[in-house]
Amino acid sequence: MNRLFYLNHTPVNFYFNKSPNDFVVREVPLYETTGEGEHLVLEIRKKDMTTWDMLKALSNHIGIKEKEIGYAGLKDKEGMTTQYISLPKKHETNVASFSHPNIKILSASYHRNKIKLGHLKGNHFFIRLKKVSSVDALKLQEVFKKIEETGFPNYFGYQRFGRSGENHKEAKELLSGVRKERSKRVRKLLISSYQSHLFNLWLSKRVEISKMFDGFSTKELNNLYNFPLETIKQIKEQKHFFKLLPGDLMHHYPYGRLFLCEDLGRESERFYNREITVTGLLCGKRAKNSTGIAGNFEKDIAKEAEAFISKMSGARRFAWVWASDMKMQYIPEKAHVELEFFLPKGSYATVLLEELTHRADLP
């Protein structure tokens, strides 16, 4: 997966199965429904099926096209997941007769607008790890607290890259004209995988740089990097593990605007206080690029995509995020660890879990 962990502990032994009892996801909507309007909003709970499968089951029963159903984001196939969807109110009668062994409608309301992709605050997770020794439980507790304090790198999870883990390679073939793909949905997913792959490479490089500044002296860093000495000192003095660089594109956290990092001292303090975060590039023609030292590292990773820029839209993505509402419980008689936390939209629970356990072989 080409991802570098930022913490330094040894791996934790445990067993994890993304079953409906051990992996539960609850979507947190961006806004409350008004109770009136032309759109029927349903709170849907599904188990062991993709969002696409759930939408197909509903559309087949109701008799509408899948594109008429609004949703905020895709949820994992495995486990128990709850999310909100919207559809035209006129189909309410057909919805009432819907029945499926793996889908349950928990609530219904009305709203003026259709739910669109991205219309969520984030997701709340419950994860149960099994066969955890008391020693490993103590380690998890310490690392869990560290992640709560400092956050973690916002890598794309393995789900983004398909079962083979090589969707990004197929995407490169697609963009270069070697591969043909008629399905717009598959084409979009493949291109997104390629952008995600490059983002992960860039973020891993930035974690590596941060580790270097964390572990080497100013003199040693001056020999390693062709930066002005004063800049090296400013980077090394930053409180947070993840070091900001001149020219980084920052974003107010969790909401706000994008802006250029020009004052390292001030912005690093705001980053440490969770007021802002650093962003990484999703390559494309509409994406803004970082500048200066930060821009040079970004260009090194993105240069392989130069020939395809016009075929991708592009954007910026949070490179560092913080979990909230974090809870951990160890049940020694069962050797279970139960974790609960909230993540902002676009973040992966499995990425947090991998950083927590230093295991990259999750199901």
pLDDT of 238 reads 98
**Domain boundaries in the chain?**
26-121, 158-321
| Tens-place pLDDT, residues 22-52 | 999 999 999 999 999 999 999 999 999 999 9
Extract the tokens encoding 256.
């706000």
Question: What angle is formed at CA 79 by the lines to CA 316 and CA 88, rounded to 5 degrees?
Answer: 70
Tell me the catalytic residues: 76
Its pTM stands at 0.93
DSSP string, 257-316: -EEE---HHHHHHHHHTTSEEEEEEE-STT-----HHHHHHHHHHHGGGGGGGGG---EE
Q: Please report, to the nearest 10 degrees, the dihedral formed by the alpha carbons of residues 220, 221, 225, 227 taken in order.
A: -120
Find, among 194, 160, 200, the residue nearest to 174 by Cα: 194
d(CA 93, CA 187): 35
CB 114 within 8 A of CB 40: no
Extract the tokens encoding 43.
């709170």
- Cα→Cα distances 319→78, 160, 230, 295, Å: 26, 16, 25, 15
Residues in contact with 10: Cβ distance below 8 Å, sequence separation at least 6, in sequence order: 139, 358
Domain 158-321's class?
Answer: alpha beta
Asked if the domains 26-121 and 158-321 are classified in one and the same CATH topology, the answer is no
| Tens-place pLDDT, residues 301-321 | 999 999 999 999 999 999 999
Residues in contact with 57: Cβ distance below 8 Å, sequence separation at least 6, in sequence order: 100, 103
Residues in the chain, pLDDT under 50: none
As its CATH architecture, domain 26-121 has: 2-Layer Sandwich (3.30)
How many residues are given for the chain? 363
